[in-house]
Structure 1
Amino acid sequence: MLGITSMAAAASSSLLLLFLFANAALPLLALNQDGLHLLDAKRALTAVPGNALADWNPRDATPCNWTGIACNAAAVTDVSLPGLNLAGPFPAALCRLPRLRSLDLSGNYIGPDLLAIARCRALQRLDLSINSFVGPLPDALADDLPDLVYLNLQSNNFSGAIPDSFARFPRLQSLSLVYNLLGGVVPPFLGAVSTLRELNLSYNPFSAGPLPPQLGDLSDLRVLWLAECNLVGAIPASLGRLASLTDLDLSTNALTGPIPPEVVTGLSSAVQIELYNNSLTGPIPTGFGRLLNLRGVDLAMNRLDGAIPEDLFRAPKLETVHLYANLLTGPVPESVAEAPSLVELRLFANRLNGTLPAGLGRAAPLVCLDVSNNAIEGEIPPGICDRGELEELLMLSNALSGRIPGALGRCRSLRRVRLSGNRLAGDVPDAVWGLPHMSLLELNDNRLTGGISPAIAGAANLTKLVLSNNRLTGPIPSEIGSVSKLYELSADGNSLSGPLPGSLGGLAEMGRLVLRNNSLSGQLLRGIRSWKKLSELNLADNGFTGSIPPELGDLPVLNYLDLSGNELTGEVPTQLENLKLNELNVSDNRLRGPLPPQYATEAYRSSFLGNPELCGEIAGLCGSNGQSRLRGRTRSSARFAWTMMFVLAAVILVGGVAWFYWRYRSFVGSRNSKLERAGEQRSKWTLTSFHKLSLSEYEILDCLDDEDNVIGSGASGKVYKAVLSNGEAVAVKQLWASKEEADDSFDAEVRTLGKIRHKNIVKLWCCCTHASNKLLVYEYMPNGSLGDALHSSSKAKAGLLDWPTRYKIAVDAAEGLSYLHHDCVPAIVHRDVKSNNILLDADMGARVADFGVAKVVEPKSMSVIAGSCGYIAPEYAYTLRVNEKSDTYSFGVVLLELVTGKPPVDPEFGEKDLVKWVCSTMEQKGVDHVLDSRLDIGEFREEIVRVLNIGLVCASSLPINRPAMRRVVKMLQEVRAPSRDANLLSTPCYYYEDAASDQLSTSV
């Protein structure tokens, strides 16, 4: 009986254990097979950010509610995981999902090859754009994926020719291979894929070849984009058979010959036609007016000649017309005044003549009109802004006459007005001076009269006012002080009179003040210390009196000073020795007395001529009468001076002894008190180390007591040099922002640099914290920043930067950024790449530094713009979207700095930045005019040009055109051993669309 009981108990225990085991296993066994395949795919990725796929829960019955997953009857049909920073090889387990129809892994770091995709045989849509795939396109893709309708592989690194097998896709409707490294020619066999509706091969380095006429057989084609595909020869007339085509882009190639009339008349569904930046010749064909859906035509930057067809503007929906930089002649057609939808008309840099249609602007909602650099005569159409939407009116360098229309004063939408280089006369309407949104008013080189109106007080956004070489009279109104954003005021060559208004001295943004050759009088302004950005001051050839203000010597960036041809008196202030002047001219005044020692040299002779009583060691500078008077005054005061010297010496001796005794007693007492307080405070500091380094917080804090240790400062803090007890030097950054800002910057740098280990990224040794005080301790870079070395006036620093050194710096910095973008998980965007944040070690090796605004890449916009002026990518300024391409743009600007030696923004560039200045100067004068004159170019010229062009590619205005930093590193390495495919000697500049206004300035 006992045995039976024992057996029953044992059986019960076994059943209980089996029940518990089954219940424990149930959650794992509940997930269906598709879910298990997805978990396998997740494990295959080498890096998945923390919360990217956090809801992929193995305890769920199905994966149908997981991030990026869509199902039909519990079977997975769609996987969509774009922009999640997933990294690793292509997850082959996804191809075990039997009903997978759509796969989107775009915007990640998946690669390197695509062979595993062959098993996803049920796929209809595949998007692997913006990833890290390399090598040739899979040859069997068309055979392995017979149901494929949509294929997007753009923005990878696929190379080699497009396989012949791509002609065998049976159902493919959309093919995008844009921005890869594809070679061969644009294949004619794609004309056999009869189902195609979209074909985009743009921005690939194909071999030079013709545009295949077979593409005209694609009767269902809606979109044909072949921009920058190295196409040569004529546009085939067969394209005119594409009656369904809405978008045609053949821009930026080397196409020649005329535009076939068939291409215009046959594209009956066309919405956008872009043929710009080729070498097309002949007249513009007629027939555009019959295209009922046409919205945009861009034929700019070709060699088209003849008249603009009258019917072009009769297309009922036409919005934008770009015909600039051609050889067009004749007048602007009258039909342009009747175009009901015209928003943008750019006709600059042609040979147009005649008058503008009187009704231009009355019917069309014009936003931009640019007819600059032509030979257009007559008056500005009075109703040019009748629709009230005009923002840009650009008519410079024509032969326009008459008055500026009074109606422009009611055009409150205007932002940029450039009417220089014409024959305009009469007064400027009062209301035009005070337009509230206008940032640029350029009226120079006309025949305008009257004065600057006090209404200018309303121009709250005006940054540049250019009035030079007119016939303006009267005073500069005091209301000019209300234009708080004004950077440039150029009104030289007029007849302005009266004193300078005191309000002018309060314009903190003023960078350029040119009032030469007027009839201004009175004394020069005092109290001008707010002019912290003033780089050029030219008041020559007026009637100014009084002395030169010593405050001029306190202006930190002033490098051009011309006060010649006035009635100035007194001595030359010694404070002017504080300035680093490229140009100094105070000649032809009534200055007297000795010159400051810095200027009393032969090099400055021409700066002081025409001042008879001004004396220095320059032979012949002083007139003989001036020297006699000076010697007479010296003799008469000599005895008095000696007597006063003896009395003064006695007073100083007695006072000095008393002061020294008092200071000694005070020092002893305060030193003891200070040491006590310091010991109490230092005990509260916390040191966190990230590397092995023998130091204490006391050594670090000691360096902060001496301002002589300051080696730099920036937006986020002041940097000190600290020499440790072991003789090693470190750099200490003390954050000085508000508490919230300091915490954000401190946390960003600690999170970023604390875990990074790379030879080209500055090392963060440790950090120290106490309450709201934050200190970051870095390795010390003895040669400072690249920006300081490039742009410092010190010849010693500039001498360190020969071309081999600059090239090494470029490669080092590129490798550091490449590490952040491609090897950190998740990827890191620096967001403030600039020459001042690239530090140089003892061997002139480069390290990327300052991660105060760095961010982990996330698929969202930032709330504020980070970065520095001249380095910020164009799209970042208006979208605030953070990605690696923003850093690539900034690095491109740094490369241009290395080649040109110029800063990213400079008054020399006018409205341009460095990128546009380089392109426009190369276009007008050639590449040699942008290379740094301090470089010994010699045998390095070819290398320098290659790096220049890499910089321009990186600084492309379109993010899709910018290479990944990993690719940039390779391109830079190939500068010294270029591959056969590397074409880095051809200039990648394309005309900027506002080039007319900027004398054909250019943009990538």
Structure 2
Amino acid sequence: MLPILFLFLLSILSSPLTILSLNQEGLSLYQFKLLLQDPDSRLSSWNPLDPTPCNWYGVTCATATATTVTTLDLSNTNIAGPFPTTILCRLPNLTSITLFNNSIDQTLSSDINLCYNLVHLDLSQNLLTGPLPSTLPQLHNLRYLDLTGNNFSGPIPETFGTFQKLEVISLVYNLLDGTIPPSLGNITTLKMLNLSYNPFFPGRIPPELGNLTNLQVLWLTQCNLVGLIPDSLGNLKKLQDLDLALNDLYGSIPSSLTELTSLKQLELYNNSLSGELPRGMGNLSSLRLLDASMNHLTGKIPDDLCSLPLESFNLYENRFDGELPASIANSPNLYELRLFGNRLTGKLPERLGKHSPLRWLDVSSNQFYGPIPATLCDFGVLEELLVIYNLFSGEIPSSLGSCQSLMRVRLGYNRFSGEVPSGVWGLPHVYLLELAENSFSGSISKTIAGAANLSLLFLSKNNFSGQIPDEVGWLEGLVELSGSDNMFSGSLPESVVNLRQLGILDLHNNKLSGELPKRIHLWKKLNELNLANNEISGKVPDGIGSLSVLNFLDLSNNKFSGNVPLGLQNMKLNQLNLSYNHFSGELPPLLAKDMYRTSFLGNPGLCGDLRGVCDGRSEEKSVGYVWLLRIIFVAAILVFFVGVVWFYFKYKSFKDARAIDKSRWTLMSFHKLGFGEDEILNCLDEDNVIGSGASGKVYKVVLGNGEAVAVKKIWGRVKKEVESGDLEKGGRVEDNSFEAEVDTLGKIRHKNIVKLWCCCTTRDCKLLVYEYMLNGSLGDLLHSSKGGLLDWPTRYKIAVDAAEGLSYLHHDCVPPIVHRDVKSNNILLDGDFGARVADFGVAKVVETTTIGTKSMSAIAGSCGYIAPEYAYTLRVNEKSDIYSFGVVILELVTGRRPVDPEFGEKDLVKWVCTTLDQKGLDHLLDSRLDLCFKEEICKVFNIGLMCTSPLPINRPSMRRVVKMLQEVSTKKQTKPAKKDGKLSPYYYDDASDHGSVA
């Protein structure tokens, strides 16, 4: 193949005009161009008619001769193809090659050593695979080597210790294994060593790294390091950034680190370090960031440490005790202080925040007492104040009421008292206000109308009183209002029906009276309604039966009267309690079941066939024997009738058996059923087919009670074939779809996972019975003429619902489950456009006991949705699902399919990135969307870009995706994260969400 290609290239370049026009270096570069794909025509200036290539895009020549190529920089040009070392190394004076952020693939040839003058080599953010060439150190002049963000595998060659002039080496975000070779300690010229985020085998930090006395940056984050931190690192006197986070290092922090007087950043978080902070930490006079959180450190926080010019100070989730040194209040640059999850006691320094631009303060889960310092927001930039689970007391300082920058306020589970300042109720950017389990008094101020971003309001277990003001109904984004165990009185304001996003309303154990608002049917997203133990009267509005997602309803111990609403029997309630009210009349038939017996106790006027409900209605004992005779007579007639019918069907079955051998069906149910297999089997005809795939058909079956179910019919034990549009035609995946579907859906319960009612099996056929989704799949609806029905609020709701379903699979299932085929066609929509994740035919349980991720024997998934690393390595984990979900988000924002002829050889992700770079966001947005939502759409779009990052480590977890989507309407500013020594705009601090109620 290569000789043919070479002859082809020679034939192209052999025209007399070309030979006469272009010098030898130009010929080599033009050969390079012919090997590349250039979809954006970025190399259009590479004209073979030019005498030299010095005017070509990305090419720089030496100024002395003006004909000799010295630098090649094609960063961010979207080119694809191999890296031709034999061609580029023909350029004798080439010193710098930069191909950052392209799609250069295949392997890096060992012939790279032929580029003997090379000083700078940057191939980061590409698709290179295979081992690292052991010949690289033969580039004796090489000073800069960056191979970050590729798919290199295997160990780091021992020969890498023979580099003679290398100053920077970055191998971050690859698939390297083995252990970190001690020979790297021989490269004494090194200034930066970045090996983070590689699946190395468990190994120790080589003590030989202490020989790198010129080192300024040592970044070994998430390298599977174990053992002690070697004392020899104290020899790195020029070190400014030491990052050993996300490993399994144990033992104490060596005292030799206190000699690193040039150190600016020290990150040791998420290890198993123990003991006390070493004495002499105050010697680190340049230290700006200290993060030793999530370890097992003990003792007191040294006073001299708090006197350093720290900007970020994180020691959370350790075992520190004693009081917080008062000197920390004098740190002039401190913007982040996180100490939660320790055993600290005493008072917070009185002047904390007085001299520093404090933005994030989290001291939750300690034993602090006394008041909150009134100076916390003196600089006016405080965004998060988290002090839950302490012993704080006193009143909330009035100064916090004017802290307009606040976004999260969590003061719950303390001993605060007094009235909440009116300004705090109305803080405009706060989306979470938690005051639960204190001794607050007074009423909710009308100034709450100004809390436009409030989403979560937790007031339970206080001494709040008075009426709930009408202004609460103005909080359009309110998702949860929990105010139980207080002394609220009066009736619920009519305005609360305007809370269209409300999911939880819990006001039990109060003194509420009056009647329920008539229009509660507007609470379409209400999931939990708890008004127990109040004095509410009147009838329960019939509209309550239309709350399709409601699954918890407790109205017990009130004064409700009238009939039990008939619509309640059609709801899928996990808990129903209407006991101890004044209900009367007959129970709805479907609620007159023994499973609901305790739901209606204490309603003397209520009648139904339930023991304990109608005890007041007794029959005359004297007529008991008459009823007994009647029952016996009717039973005899029924027995006779049943016998005749049985004989008839037995005879018919015997007769039919001569023509057709009917198989026996075995039914396995996963929920309480109101139907049998016969009802299903009788409706499996062609008139009811609503879809088909490679393994069978899908039917809509309307049951006798009027409810519809979807039935997937799978023939035999065939492997699930890839559906239309997936990978290649006729391709197969390795799992039996029926067993995978049953194993997965039979175990899990979640409102955003499609419900599997039961399965029916025979030797030759298998049926899966699901809840029926009225609006079909997201993909079919979005990409059809009906796509206009999906306005932005509906698309946003679908994204949140689907994310919550996937988050449940990844984080709440034990062990976690990876879907492996997330796509818009596998997101189904109910009548209210609520989303359910469906089709678990290729789902896999993640093995958490092995190192790294599990490799599959074949690719599963759909074209356009498959994560890059999955296609190359067949390694599957939750990050693969997150990439696919990111594609779904991009579909929702753009309205485009994941693969479209308009994209050429690109998929949706690459098309979006290219279009965004060249034309801007306005050319991406679905024209059917109302641009009044543009700001919110942009935020969701950015989440989609994060999820589709080519590097798995850059993709947020699904739990984080859910939180970001829920917070999309807030203007939350986030802490910047370090990436290759720089700051990344896409950072969300998971640690700050401990104890979250989201």
TM-score (norm 2): 0.68
Change (3 A) 1:360 1:877: farther
Aligned to 2:53: 63
Aligned to 2:609: 617
Q: Which amino acid aligns with 1:31?
A: L
Aligned to 1:943: none
TM-superposed CA distance for 1:856, in Å, is 1.6
Which one of 183, 195, 200 corresponds to residue 194 of structure 2?
Answer: 200
Aligned to 1:191: 185
- Asked if 1:863 corresponds to 2:857, the answer is no
Q: Which amino acid aligns with 1:712?
A: N
Aligned to 2:663: none
Q: Which moved more, 1:566-575 or 1:208-217?
A: 208-217
Residues 67-109 of structure 1: per-residue CA shift (max 9 Å, x gap) = 2222221322111122333333212322211221111122223
Which one of 160, 168, 174 corresponds to residue 174 of structure 1?
Answer: 168
Aligned to 1:35: 26
Change (3 A) 1:392 1:142: same
**For structure 1, which runs of at least 5 residues remain unmatched after alignment?**
1-23, 629-688, 694-708, 720-731, 742-780, 839-846, 897-902, 913-956, 961-989
**Contact residue 83 and residue 108 of structure 1 kept, 8 A:** yes
- Asked if 1:885 corresponds to 2:933, the answer is no
Q: Which amino acid aligns with 1:79?
A: L
SS at match of 1:248: strand
SS at match of 2:327: helix
TM-superposed CA distance for 1:150, in Å, is 0.3
Q: In 1, Cα distance between the equivalents of 2:449 and 2:779?
A: 35
Aligned to 2:281: 288
Change (3 A) 1:108 1:341: same
1:179-328 aligned at under 5 Å gives the runs: 179-264=173-258, 266-316=259-309, 318-328=310-320
SS at match of 2:391: coil
Aligned to 2:653: none
**Contact residue 866 and residue 884 of structure 2 kept, 8 A:** no
Aligned to 1:992: 990
**Contact residue 342 and residue 366 of structure 2 kept, 8 A:** yes
TM-superposed CA distance for 1:56, in Å, is 1.9
Which one of 100, 117, 132 corresponds to residue 106 of structure 1?
Answer: 100
Q: Which moved more, 1:120-129 or 1:280-289?
A: 280-289
Which one of 320, 331, 335 corresponds to residue 323 of structure 2?
Answer: 331
Q: In 1, Cα distance between the equivalents of 2:27 and 2:142?
A: 25
**Contact residue 867 and residue 883 of structure 2 kept, 8 A:** no
Aligned to 1:733: 784
Larger Cα-atom Rg: 1
**Contact residue 283 and residue 305 of structure 1 kept, 8 A:** yes
SS at match of 1:243: coil
SS at match of 2:193: strand
- Asked if 1:155 corresponds to 2:145, the answer is no
**For structure 2, which runs of at least 5 residues remain unmatched after alignment?**
1-14, 621-723, 730-771, 793-820, 847-853, 873-881, 969-976, 981-987
1:404-443 aligned at under 5 Å gives the runs: 404-443=396-435
Q: Which moved more, 1:872-881 or 1:66-75?
A: 872-881
Where relative contact order (Cα < 8 A, 6+ residues apart) is larger, the structure is 1
Change (3 A) 1:585 1:904: farther
SS at match of 1:523: coil
Aligned to 1:812: 860
Change (3 A) 1:385 1:740: closer
Which one of 38, 42, 51 corresponds to residue 48 of structure 1?
Answer: 38
Q: In 2, Cα distance between the equivalents of 1:157 and 1:136?
A: 9
Residues 894-942 of structure 1: per-residue CA shift (max 9 Å, x gap) = 8x9xxxxxx98599x9999xxxxxxxxxxxxxxxxxxxxxxxxxxxxxx
Q: Which amino acid aligns with 2:133?
A: P
TM-superposed CA distance for 1:622, in Å, is 1.3
TM-superposed CA distance for 1:889, in Å, is 8.8
Q: Which amino acid aligns with 1:477?
A: P
Change (3 A) 1:604 1:446: same
SS at match of 1:994: helix
Q: In 2, Cα distance between the equivalents of 1:54 and 1:427?
A: 70
Which one of 765, 768, 775 corresponds to residue 712 of structure 1?
Answer: 775
**Contact residue 883 and residue 955 of structure 2 kept, 8 A:** no
Q: Which amino acid aligns with 1:290?
A: N
Residues 784-816 of structure 1: per-residue CA shift (max 9 Å, x gap) = 95445999999x999987977999999522776
SS at match of 1:735: helix
Q: In 1, Cα distance between the equivalents of 2:293 and 2:173?
A: 23
Q: Which amino acid aligns with 2:39?
A: P
Change (3 A) 1:172 1:244: same
Q: In 1, Cα distance between the equivalents of 2:592 and 2:963?
A: 30
TM-superposed CA distance for 1:874, in Å, is 13
Residues 242-277 of structure 1: per-residue CA shift (max 9 Å, x gap) = 11111000111121111112202x111111000111
Residues 420-441 of structure 1: per-residue CA shift (max 9 Å, x gap) = 0000011101111001111110
- Asked if 1:568 corresponds to 2:560, the answer is yes
Q: In 1, Cα distance between the equivalents of 2:404 and 2:446?
A: 17
Q: Which amino acid aligns with 1:362?
A: K
SS at match of 1:88: strand
TM-superposed CA distance for 1:61, in Å, is 3.0
Q: In 2, Cα distance between the equivalents of 1:540 and 1:740?
A: 37
Residues 480-514 of structure 1: per-residue CA shift (max 9 Å, x gap) = 12222111111011000001111111112211111
Identity %: 44
**Contact residue 873 and residue 886 of structure 1 kept, 8 A:** no
1:464-475 aligned at under 5 Å gives the runs: 464-475=456-467
TM-score (norm 1): 0.68
Residues 722-762 of structure 1: per-residue CA shift (max 9 Å, x gap) = xxxxxxxxxx9323429999xxxxxxxxxxxxxxxxxxxxx
- Asked if 1:393 corresponds to 2:375, the answer is no
Q: Which amino acid aligns with 2:440?
A: L
Change (3 A) 1:959 1:873: farther
Change (3 A) 1:890 1:333: closer
Aligned to 2:679: none
> Over the residues paired in the alignment, what is the CA RMSD in angstroms?
4.5
SS at match of 2:913: coil
Q: In 1, Cα distance between the equivalents of 2:344 and 2:140?
A: 55
- The count of aligned residue pairs is 752
Residues 126-164 of structure 1: per-residue CA shift (max 9 Å, x gap) = 011222222221112111x11100001122222222222
1:361-380 aligned at under 5 Å gives the runs: 361-380=353-372
Residues 682-704 of structure 1: per-residue CA shift (max 9 Å, x gap) = xxxxxxx999x9xxxxxxxxxxx
TM-superposed CA distance for 1:352, in Å, is 0.5
**Contact residue 890 and residue 941 of structure 2 kept, 8 A:** no
1:530-929 aligned at under 5 Å gives the runs: 530-625=522-617, 712=775, 718=781, 733-737=784-788, 786-788=826-828, 812-813=860-861, 817-818=865-866, 832-833=886-887, 856=911, 858=913, 860=916, 863=921, 881=945, 884-885=948-949
Q: In 2, Cα distance between the equivalents of 1:259 and 1:791?
A: 58
SS at match of 1:885: coil
TM-superposed CA distance for 1:713, in Å, is 5.5
**Contact residue 614 and residue 626 of structure 1 kept, 8 A:** no
Q: In 1, Cα distance between the equivalents of 2:30 and 2:243?
A: 43
TM-superposed CA distance for 1:452, in Å, is 0.4
**Contact residue 181 and residue 205 of structure 1 kept, 8 A:** yes
Aligned to 2:476: 484
Aligned to 2:749: none
Change (3 A) 1:187 1:888: closer
Q: Which moved more, 1:236-245 or 1:298-307?
A: 236-245
- Asked if 1:524 corresponds to 2:579, the answer is no
Q: In 2, Cα distance between the equivalents of 1:836 and 1:885?
A: 13
TM-superposed CA distance for 1:281, in Å, is 1.1
Change (3 A) 1:480 1:572: same
Q: In 1, Cα distance between the equivalents of 2:843 and 2:515?
A: 48
Q: In 1, Cα distance between the equivalents of 2:158 and 2:951?
A: 37
